[in-house]
Chain A
Amino acid sequence: MAEEKNEVKLRIRDVSMRFRMEEDRAGSLKETFTKMFTKGLKFREFYALHDVSFDVYKGDVLGIIGRNGAGKSTILKIISGIMKPTKGSVERYGNIVPMLELGSGFDMDLSGRENIFLNGAILGYDKQFLKNKYNEIVEFSELHEFIEMPLRNYSSGMIMRLAFSIATVVEPEILIVDEILAVGDENFQKKSRARMMELMSGGTTVLFVSHDMNQIREMCNRVVWLDGGTVRLQGPTEIICDRYRI
């Protein structure tokens, strides 16, 4: 394949994630102690991911597909560093911007302007960058006259618009997207879709989870099919998508 000559941006090797499902989780000191003495803590082990390996190359738009509970969100969380895998390793070459849930970290009592800086800092942008891009963010979100208002007075659509504008103002080397392409009204949906396309075509490496096969076919050049925590198939979009339908 042509992509394989490119440099590797993400190398995921034998990643396993084990969850311990305690029969009923001990939420307090007393419960833990009493259980330790009576019957012992019972665990049911559950592998959300089992020996998952794949590489992502520079400029790839990689789609991750699979049924509910196949481990899609877990692998995204592991790649963005939020979770640590039980086994295996993830090597990252480049800065990652995860767009797992927009607007986490917003504070409802602060104004839109203050939230731009707070959320930007959480996403790892630096001060100078945010100052330079501040106008661009406000412009894109179309919130000019509301920007000094506290967020609790915003409508949910306005909050999503602000969150999207902050998250996509960077041009990250690796972008992780968990089905958030459409926010706001029809007009803003078009705009945000265009912005995503712009980001994806600009040489950014994208990891993309979706259940919408049309969207996957349209955007991705490679697809990883997860099934029950393992990689069922991976390869060029067309081949995998045709098989997935069956």
Chain B
Amino acid sequence: MTNIQVKKVSKYILWTYLVVVCLFTIGAYDKLFMKTESGVSRLVFYLPFVALAGGLLFFYTRLLQKNGEKGRRVIGAGFFETIHKYRFLIEQLVTRDFKIKYKRSVLGVFWSFLNPLLMMIVQYIVFSHLLNIRGGVAHYAIYLLCGIVMWNGFNDCSMQSMRSITGNSALITKVYVPKYIYPVTKVFSASVNVLLSMIPLLLVTLVYGLFSTPRLFLKPSVFLLPFGLLFLLVFCIGMGFLLSSLMVFFHDIEFLWTVLSTAWMYATPIIYSLSMFEGKEGVQWIVTLMKFNPLYHYISFVRTIILEGTSPAFSEYLICAAFSAAMFAIGITVFKKCQDKFILYL
């Protein structure tokens, strides 16, 4: 990378940090300004932390600019170099996927909004009116929609990225491109849809909230939604690495995964809620088990933001981040181990 490009990257890093801090401050303002028992607001801890992290980041960008001098390599410089180098390719592949998806449909991109909406109406009627599985959940329609949007996002990402290596075999055997580009771009193009489906989610919440009793209003906590999506995205990339590399060696994964993901869907409180199990004998293990279900944490993260209008507990951020990081680490390790063998099996 040239000097100007490094400066640009540094600028991006610092701006991203600023945006993250702003989003978090606005989104979690009620918790931040709230006074704890000892009578001091949490800002006392938060502000120095923000300043410290910012300072460290600034120091890091300085280091980046010195990368290569005296033969030293800064950690992460290689990562930014590959992103910089293949940014255009990723951009092109994502636009291709997006264009192809709706190319021959009349409503086009509009389907991204319409699909989750229609799905929600069907499931709402079935589960709320026919089967009556509300389980005493307030604002069940919104509760359901949050679950559906997040789950569909995950399902879409994992399905698409699973086929990313086998589906691009014609390219992989002809041109050299780092192979991790393929699962990553598939997750990106699927997550564009997740982003778009946030719009009907918020719109429905707005409209629904006006007519429901008790009223439900969107609070500034919606600014925390990007964090939930980011956790999900990283988790999906990890999952995509794992599934796509297994898929090369065993095509059975494709069939196995449809079964597994259906089982996983029913094991996640999307249509039901954990409060249904309260006070019932012999089912407490389900509640315990749920602590180990990453999707449960991502979905309740979003539900807390929208339904309770407040920031999730600090521990929830840590749990979600830990799941994402763990999945990413597992995925990339498996992928790195296998990627040189892909070509022999495609």
Residues of A participating in the B interface, judged by any CB pair closer than 8 Å: 19-20, 27-30, 32, 77, 80-84, 96, 98, 100-101, 104-105, 107, 109-110, 114, 117-118, 121-124, 126-127
B100 touches A109 (CB 8 A): yes
Residues of chain B within 8 A of A127, CB atoms compared: 88
A81 touches B176 (CB 8 A): yes
Q: Does B92 have its Cβ within 8 Å of any Cβ on chain A?
A: yes
Beyond contacts A32-B250, A80-B175: 17 other A-B pairs, Cβ-Cβ < 8 A, are A28-B250, A29-B256, A77-B173, A80-B176, A81-B176, A84-B340, A96-B176, A100-B175, A105-B174, A105-B175, A110-B96, A118-B92, A118-B96, A121-B89, A122-B92, A122-B171, A127-B88
Measured in the bound complex, the distance between the Cα atoms of B103 and A84 in whole Å is 37
A104 touches B175 (CB 8 A): yes
Q: Does B138 have its Cβ within 8 Å of any Cβ on chain A?
A: no
Residues of chain A within 8 A of B99, CB atoms compared: 109-110, 114
Q: In the complex, which residue of chain B has the Cβ closest to the Cβ of A96? A: B176
Q: Does B172 have its Cβ within 8 Å of any Cβ on chain A?
A: yes
1/0 per position for B306-346, CB-CB distance to A under 8 A? Answer: 00000000000000000000000000000000001001100
Q: How far is the CB of A175 from chain B (nearest CB, A)?
A: 14
Interface of A is mostly: loop
Please pick, from A20, A83, A107, A122, the residue contacting B177 in the complex, using a CB distance under 8 A: A122
Measured in the bound complex, the distance between the Cα atoms of B309 and A17 in whole Å is 60
Residues of chain B within 8 A of A98, CB atoms compared: 174-176
Q: In the complex, which residue of chain A has the Cβ closest to the Cβ of B250? A: A29
Please pick, from A32, A109, A123, the residue contacting B175 in the complex, using a CB distance under 8 A: A123
A83 touches B175 (CB 8 A): no
Residues of chain A within 8 A of B103, CB atoms compared: 109
Cβ contacts A to B, 17 pairs, < 8 Å: A20-B344, A27-B251, A28-B250, A28-B252, A29-B252, A84-B340, A98-B175, A104-B174, A105-B170, A109-B99, A117-B92, A118-B93, A121-B88, A121-B91, A122-B175, A124-B89, A126-B88
A82 touches B100 (CB 8 A): no
Q: In the complex, which residue of chain A has the Cβ closest to the Cβ of B175? A: A122
Which of B103, B171, B174 is packed against the most chain A CB atoms within 10 Å? B174
Q: In the complex, which residue of chain B has the Cβ closest to the Cβ of A83? A: B343
Measured in the bound complex, the distance between the Cα atoms of B341 and A20 in whole Å is 11
Given contacts A28-B250, A104-B171, contact A82 B176 (CB under 8 A): yes
B340 touches A82 (CB 8 A): no
Which of B92, B170, B173 is packed against the most chain A CB atoms within 10 Å? B92
Measured in the bound complex, the distance between the Cα atoms of B305 and A177 in whole Å is 57
Given contacts A27-B251, A32-B250, A121-B88, contact A100 B174 (CB under 8 A): yes
Within 8 A of A (CB), among B107-142: none
1/0 per position for B140-173, CB-CB distance to A under 8 A? Answer: 0000000000000000000000000000001111
Measured in the bound complex, the distance between the Cα atoms of B343 and A106 in whole Å is 20
Shortest Cβ-Cβ A-B pairs, 7 listed? A81-B176, A104-B174, A121-B92, A121-B89, A84-B340, A28-B252, A29-B250
B252 touches A30 (CB 8 A): yes
B175 touches A107 (CB 8 A): no
Within 8 A of A (CB), among B222-248: none
Q: In the complex, which residue of chain A has the Cβ closest to the Cβ of B178? A: A81
Measured in the bound complex, the distance between the Cα atoms of B176 and A32 in whole Å is 30
B100 touches A107 (CB 8 A): yes
Q: How far is the CB of B283 from chain A (nearest CB, A)?
A: 33
Which of B89, B173, B176 is packed against the most chain A CB atoms within 10 Å? B176
Q: How far is the CB of B249 from chain A (nearest CB, A)?
A: 8
Given contacts A29-B252, A82-B173, contact A122 B100 (CB under 8 A): no
Q: In the complex, which residue of chain A has the Cβ closest to the Cβ of B92? A: A121
Q: How far is the CB of B122 from chain A (nearest CB, A)?
A: 30
Given contacts A82-B175, A105-B175, A121-B89, contact A28 B251 (CB under 8 A): yes
Residues of chain A within 8 A of B176, CB atoms compared: 80-82, 96, 98
Measured in the bound complex, the distance between the Cα atoms of B170 and A27 in whole Å is 19
Q: How far is the CB of A8 from chain B (nearest CB, A)?
A: 20
Please pick, from B96, B170, B251, the residue contacting A104 in the complex, using a CB distance under 8 A: B170
Measured in the bound complex, the distance between the Cα atoms of B93 and A67 in whole Å is 38
Measured in the bound complex, the distance between the Cα atoms of B168 and A105 in whole Å is 8
Residues of chain A within 8 A of B173, CB atoms compared: 77, 82
